[in-house]
Structure 1
Amino acid sequence: MNDATFNSGVLITGAAGFIGSALLRVLADDGVGQVTALDLRDVPPAQQRAGIDYEQGDIRDPALKEIFARVRPRTVVHLASVVAVGGDERRDYEIDVLGTRNVLESCLAAGVQHLIVTSSGAAYGYHADNPVPLRETDPLRGNEDFPYARNKREVEDMLARWRSEHPQLQQTIFRPCTVLGPTTNNQITALFERPVVTGLSGTATPFSLIADSDVVAALAQAVRTGKPGIYNLAGDGTLSLREIAQLNGKPFIPIPPAIMRGALRLLNALGLTKLTAENVKFIQYRPVLDNTRLKSEFGYTPELDARVVFERYRDQRPDLPA
């Protein structure tokens, strides 16, 4: 039976992750129908929430179509993706690009009506001539020498083709900036927490920031309303890396970009870091995202601005010394 009117409920990919697990908590009692949590990781019974169906599966696996066909969700929230920079390039491509294609094909086969995807501000790319701020209508250029940004751009190109070829599958695309919460621990927070925060001379390195709670709230609103569109996901304002260091009580040392590239080239050759010289642009040309469309068209205003987002992270993080 392929009639989409018989589809109901929500399926979340990457449901055991940072944002997915928080979204589950919100949707479990939200009246959106049956909620299905799909993740590569198995969730032990003791950690499972009542009222949620748990499925273990890989978004790259052709068997994903069987899960979608059995669950028949009305809405799919696609969160499963690569979040760390500097991993296995082939694996990252398979997860982000081929995995998303498999999710799209599974949605189409199962008659899913609404797909919500978390893309990334990295899809715009890290470029010296990026507009400030970047709007949703600005071109997605990624970076050919930065696989994370390249993959995000390719995913968005694919989503655009599907919007044209399969309009019956409505899409809501969020492009988050740096997502920060009290438990966030990744390559970006590592920059903030070093004894000495090193930045680049000649650039302020402005960080657009969004609270994890605002990301979850926007996703939940998209599930409830079914509103399609493409929206930057960022709080108001920015913080420079120097300001972040000051707020965190750390000294800040700017380093010329050429010296930073040389240092990363050496450390990478010695096997001491996965980062390469090309990753310098990740700090040098931070995308600053405009959130006007998120507020005016989608109808969501982030509760926390950039400074409050960082202070919340700093003050509530459990593993930092007082």
Structure 2
Amino acid sequence: MSLRILITGAGGYLGRRLLEHLRQQQPHWQLIATSRRTPFAQAAAGLIWQPLDVSDRVAVQAAFAAHRPHAVVHLAAVLNPPAGMSHEQLRTIEVDGTRHVLDAALAHGCQQVIVSSSGAAYGYHADNPAWLTEDMPLRGHPAFAYAQNKVAVEALLDDYRAQHPQLKQLILRIGTVLGPNTDNLISDLFRKRWVLGVRGSQSPFVFIWDEDVVEIIRLGLLEQRSGCFNLAGDGAVPLAQIAAQLDKPFIAPPAWLLKGALKVLNYWQLSQYHSDQVDFLRYRPVLCNRRLKEQFGYTPRFTSEQALAAFIAAQSTAAPA
């Protein structure tokens, strides 16, 4: 079966890994890779690259009209916004961009949309249950535009699913992605000389290996799957254990002290983190993957602990002698 797959955000880490995986596993598929800024070094068989800003409604409609994809994998998002990017700009890219993709998909006969949501949509709250399942409320967090935008995106998807049931939706609430070359806010925390936590909080992390994520997307496309699934390896790893596995000191000041320190550091532009983001470390959303295993039929090859170990091993191999 030959499919045309349009991928937004294809220039990002996960997008590049997905392109590589699909080209290997589904060589007869035609891939339309779109990205706001990042061009690809060269064209390849079965791959079309097209610059695309999903916040531009007209451009999105034109791209879908030109390629008429059978399915779209919508990865476009801004996890680590550049300095000066406002919450309004982020919302235009992530929420309005999703609306533009959905409208174009409907207008041009697309059969399926796969959307990368996030465990961040559940939010960072003291009363989060020990394990979060897909039927629990999405509460986001006012200090994190990314989390708030994911909540808004999923509300938008709910509306479109009710009004346009013919367009299959596969929503993936992804935990912290690790891979050999992962470079994000979390991996940046782990590359520092120490691991920072919050006193009195275990701060357990769930990890998902990047190869598991792209294989789940491939299977979702191949089988035209729909539904909503948490993506995480089995188990969770507390920050103190992460520090031990990294062989780094674990520093856990009280929340009030950490907030004060971050406020000063951020004022002097010495930290990318804000004082109101302490909840990000203190109240981690821990994703239950039971539905992924039982209903989707996929068990991640790496547990959270194994994914962390593989990431550490890859960093050690890449480190200069």
Work out whether the TM-score is over 0.5.
yes
Q: 1:195 aligns with which of 193, 198, 208?
A: 193
Task: Identify the residue that residue 299 of structure 2 maps to in structure 1.
Answer: 301
264-273 or 111-120, which deviates more: 264-273
Q: Measure how far apart 1:145 and its partner are.
A: 2.8
Match of 1:266 in 2: 264
How far off its partner does 1:35 sit?
Answer: 1.6
Q: Distance in 2 between matches of 1:37 and 1:158?
A: 24
Change (3 A) 1:280 1:192: same
Q: Does 1:118 align with 2:116?
A: yes
Kindly indicate whether the alpha-carbon contact (under 8 Å) linking 1:85 and 1:148 is maintained by their aligned counterparts in 2: no
Residue 33 of structure 1 is matched in structure 2 by 29
Q: How far apart in 1 are the matches of 2:14 and 2:162?
A: 29
Offset at 1:86?
7.5
Is 1:9 aligned to residue 4 of structure 2? yes
CA distance, structure 1, for counterparts of residue 137 and residue 91 of structure 2: 21
Is 1:130 the counterpart of 2:128? The answer is yes
What CA distance in whole angstroms lies between the structure 1 residues aligned with 2:27 and 2:179? 26
SS at match of 2:200: coil
Among 177, 180, 188, the alignment partner of 1:179 is 177
Cα RMSD over matched residues?
Answer: 1.7
**Dislocated runs of 4+, deviation >4 Å:** none
2:78 corresponding residue in structure 1: 82
Q: Structure 1, residues 13-67: CA drift from partner, whole Å, max 9, x if none?
A: 11122111121122225166322111123534x5332221111111111211011
Find the aligned partners of 2:241 and 2:320 in 1 and give their Cα distance: 20
Identity of aligned residues (%): 43
Tell me which of 276, 283, 286 is aligned to 1:285.
283
TM-score normalised over the length of structure 1:
0.93
Letter in 1 for 2:54: I
- The range that moved more, 300-309 or 311-320, is 311-320
1:68-117 Cα offsets, whole Å, 9 max, x none, are 01100111000111121685223222211111111111111112110000
CA distance in 2, matches of 1:198, 1:207: 13
> Shift of the alpha carbon at 1:136?
0.1
Q: What amino acid sits opposite 1:38 in the alignment?
A: T
2:314 to 290, 308, 316: 316
What is the distance in 1 between the residues matched to 2:301 and 2:66? Answer: 38
| Pairing partner for 2:145 from 141, 144, 147 | 147
Measured in 1, the distance between the counterparts of 2:38 and 2:242 equals 37
Letter in 1 for 2:234: D
Q: What amino acid sits opposite 1:254 in the alignment? A: A
Between Structure 1 and Structure 2, how many residues are aligned? 315
Residue 93 of structure 1 pairs with residue 99 of structure 2:
no
Give the Cα–Cα distance (whole angstroms) in 1 for the partners of residues 123 and 12 of structure 2: 25
User: 1:208·1:289 contact (CA, 8 Å) conserved in 2?
Assistant: yes
CA distance in 2: counterparts of 1:126 and 1:109, whole angstroms: 37
**C-alpha spacing 1:123/1:159, structure 2 compared with 1 (3 Å):** same
What corresponds to 1:3 in structure 2?
A: none
**Distance in 2 between the 1:151 and 1:264 partners?**
24
Distance 1:248 1:177 in 2: 20
CA distance in 2, matches of 1:270, 1:132: 36
The equivalent position to 2:42 in structure 1, one of 47, 56, 70, is 47
Q: Is the 8 A contact 1:210 1:233 kept in 2?
A: yes
Q: Distance in 2 between matches of 1:275 and 1:23?
A: 29
Deviations 1:192-231 (A, max 9, x none): 1211222111101100000011111111110101110000
1:217-273 CA-to-partner distances (Å, cap 9, x unmatched) read: 111110101110000000001111111111111011111011111111122222323
What residue in structure 2 maps to residue 4 of structure 1? none
Determine whether 1:234 maps to 2:232. Answer: yes
- TM-score, normalised on structure 2? 0.93
Structure 1 residues 270 and 43, CA, compared in 2 at 3 Å: closer, same or farther? closer
Distance 2:253 2:93 in 1: 34
Is 2:204 the partner of 1:206?
yes
1:122: Cα distance to partner?
Answer: 0.4
Q: Tell me whether 184-193 or 157-166 shows the greater mean CA deviation.
A: 184-193
Superposed counterparts of 1:215-234, under 5 Å: 215-234=213-232
Q: Is the 8 A contact 2:28 2:46 kept in 1?
A: no
- Going from structure 1 to structure 2, the CA distance change for 1:311 and 1:76 (only over 3 Å counts) comes to same
Deviations 1:170-201 (A, max 9, x none): 10000011001110112211211211222111
Quick check: 2:118–2:150 contact (8 Å CA) kept in 1? Answer: yes
Amino acid at match of 1:84: N
Tell me how far 1:284 sits from its aligned partner: 0.4
Q: Is the 8 A contact 1:8 1:72 kept in 2?
A: no
C-alpha distance in structure 1 between counterparts of 2:29 and 2:46, whole Å = 10
> Is the partner of 2:61 in helix, strand or coil?
helix
C-alpha distance in structure 1 between counterparts of 2:203 and 2:130, whole Å:
12
| Segment of structure 1 superposing worse, 10-19 or 282-291 | 10-19
